[in-house]
Structure 1
């Protein structure tokens, strides 16, 4: 199975969420933030946490540099992956304890035999994933019979199918061209296809074609592309206290960012390797989830705003496109007790109004 795109060739951070996993060997070389940029002491009790190029995950770097992990008494071995695919395979292999990754990738990992648990919603893509079309295509219905390129099995492929379904079209109604994300954007710019489904920064590349425009994006399908803190079930069972401390650290970091936004942007842009101004432009396409939004997402619902419902849709998608032989058991995938515990903690610690 493929990911959105191996980001090793493009550190332009914000790639969008990706659908993934596959038969890929675990990373053999990993740059770790602790080795390169921090004096944090890594011990046997450290949580090995992976993250990669996506704006919803850069707050982990803020937590590291501002001593928030230490303040919450959780030693963290924060590992930066140049390639998102490496982070997925490394978690699957048990070489790290937790990773920030998409819902689709996690469901896909389950189908491959992994035993993982989602404990937190980092963010949702709210526009960084787009379906871009040539001049003359003005509605989703206009895609019928047209050549549409996307990387098969990715979240952008999933987004494309959601759009078709909304317009009453079937997969067979378009001429689907499976191409790696970068090649998909290039083929569109070259006029070889009529439309493409890609994520930032390839959206910028695709829109260079004269007369091209965005037809729809992840903003039109709230919850379709969500990102999470995912642990191995073994670690959650053996060290629930450390899982709680890491979840607490995430929300404390978000509070820090609200109060120190400019400093936070500097840290995150540096990690991304781009100017602060550019980082701000891309960050608008990602919505970081609050405690309240986390609690709501974990509830059972009948739309993509519910993680349970979204996971079921991902399950269907993976089997329909042939990337999984059967649907995964998602009955134990979500564990909201840590978010609930933090919500209760801040509730009881808040001063009582007179």
Structure 2
């Protein structure tokens, strides 16, 4: 699915440099994930004309997770992307740069079939997980908290849609997955249990989703400034207009609004001004560094970069 937002030649948008025609807009390619937090910024920016306002023509492409988007960035088929906290190990290992935080989410869950009541009960069970995602991270955190390691379960790598099918049909005992998939599974499996949530680890660990840029584009500061300006405008619109934001996102995805509305309540969402203060104060770097240290503990990476080297915070805070 590709959605192209283009200003028609008959429409002029007033920016600092004056009216821009469609020919004057800079083209970018940006990825998103088809859930509320992965789509709402792109959807709002499209609906409200924010791309054009900041001199951009965005070619938007849908993906199922963050790691696949980073592959697309590195292959040169994408310029910008959205990732959840579970994929932050990729910029922390030097494979992209973060340009903006999105929200502090707690949509991830470890869920299980009826009768499985605790994380300890997962020993020896089949657990489906989209590897390298926030669902993977939450599962590892929950296992560690229960004094279990990954070898205690049968870890099965699956994409989110396959997890829905496998869980519903009873082929797996549990999953590390996120809303709205959790809601979809819960409707089909009424006895489903939720064993762990991101909130169980907050505030010691925050789970920020974020927007990233390819290394090839990381030096294009003016382009990044424009994209960040769009993200900030859309973030503040989303915060000020929660109902409209859900409707816009549902229409953009051609999806029912209720699951997205439920997902939209599962995050802490600072204003863009607050994110700027959190950036200059070092808190955003601390969030990213803490997650990077977890990836080391999980054996995902060995020597992560400090956040100051992969988060372009100075550009965000301008």
What is the aligned-residue RMSD (CA, Å)? 3.3
Does residue 290 of the first structure (1) align with residue 271 of the second (2)?
A: yes
Distance in 1 separating the partners of 2:84 and 2:72: 15
Task: For residue 109 of structure 1, report the CA deviation from its aligned partner.
Answer: 6.2
Q: Cα gap change, 1:100/1:190 in structure 2, threshold over 3 Å: closer, same or farther?
A: closer
Q: Cα gap change, 1:54/1:221 in structure 2, threshold over 3 Å: closer, same or farther?
A: farther
* 1:62 alignment counterpart: 44
What 5-or-longer segments of structure 1 have no aligned partner? Answer: 1-29, 342-354
User: Secondary structure at 2:298's aligned position in 1?
Assistant: helix
Distance in 2 separating the partners of 1:169 and 1:340: 41
Does residue 231 of the first structure (1) align with residue 189 of the second (2)?
A: no
Q: Cα gap change, 1:81/1:182 in structure 2, threshold over 3 Å: closer, same or farther?
A: closer
Q: TM-score, normalised by structure 1?
A: 0.71
Task: For residue 305 of structure 1, report the CA deviation from its aligned partner.
Answer: 6.4
Distance in 1 separating the partners of 2:162 and 2:263: 21
Distance in 1 separating the partners of 2:170 and 2:259: 28
Q: Counterparts of 1:316-335 in structure 2 under 5 Å?
A: 316-317=297-298, 319=300, 326-330=302-306, 332-335=309-312
Task: For residue 121 of structure 1, report the CA deviation from its aligned partner.
Answer: 0.5
Q: Is the 8 A contact 1:299 1:306 kept in 2?
A: no
What 5-or-longer segments of structure 2 have no aligned partner? Answer: 9-20
Q: Is the 8 A contact 1:91 1:232 kept in 2?
A: yes
Task: For residue 284 of structure 1, report the CA deviation from its aligned partner.
Answer: 2.1
Distance in 1 separating the partners of 2:241 and 2:248: 11
* 2:142 alignment counterpart: 163
Q: Cα gap change, 1:241/1:275 in structure 2, threshold over 3 Å: closer, same or farther?
A: same
Q: Is the 8 A contact 2:55 2:226 kept in 1?
A: yes
Q: Deviation string for 1:85-107 (max 9, x for gaps)? A: 66433322233322222344353
Q: Is the 8 A contact 2:91 2:310 kept in 1?
A: no
Task: For residue 300 of structure 1, report the CA deviation from its aligned partner.
Answer: 5.6
Higher strand share: 2
Does residue 252 of the first structure (1) align with residue 223 of the second (2)?
A: no
Distance in 2 separating the partners of 1:105 and 1:241: 26
* 2:314 alignment counterpart: 337
Q: Is the 8 A contact 2:139 2:176 kept in 1?
A: yes
User: Secondary structure at 2:89's aligned position in 1?
Assistant: helix
Q: Counterparts of 1:17-166 in structure 2 under 5 Å?
A: 31-34=2-5, 39=8, 41=22, 45-56=26-37, 57-71=39-53, 73-81=54-62, 83-84=64-65, 87-108=69-90, 111=93, 114=95, 116-127=96-107, 129-166=108-145
Question: Which of the numbers 172, 176, 181 marks the counterpart of 1:202?
Answer: 181
Paired residues in the alignment total 299
Q: Is the 8 A contact 1:42 1:77 kept in 2?
A: no
User: Secondary structure at 1:81's aligned position in 2?
Assistant: strand
Distance in 2 separating the partners of 1:260 and 1:336: 26
* 1:348 alignment counterpart: none
Distance in 2 separating the partners of 1:205 and 1:261: 22
Q: Cα gap change, 1:76/1:50 in structure 2, threshold over 3 Å: closer, same or farther?
A: farther
User: Secondary structure at 2:31's aligned position in 1?
Assistant: strand
Task: For residue 242 of structure 1, report the CA deviation from its aligned partner.
Answer: 2.9
* 1:26 alignment counterpart: none
Q: Is the 8 A contact 1:61 1:267 kept in 2?
A: yes
Q: TM-score, normalised by structure 2?
A: 0.78
* 1:218 alignment counterpart: 198
* 2:14 alignment counterpart: none
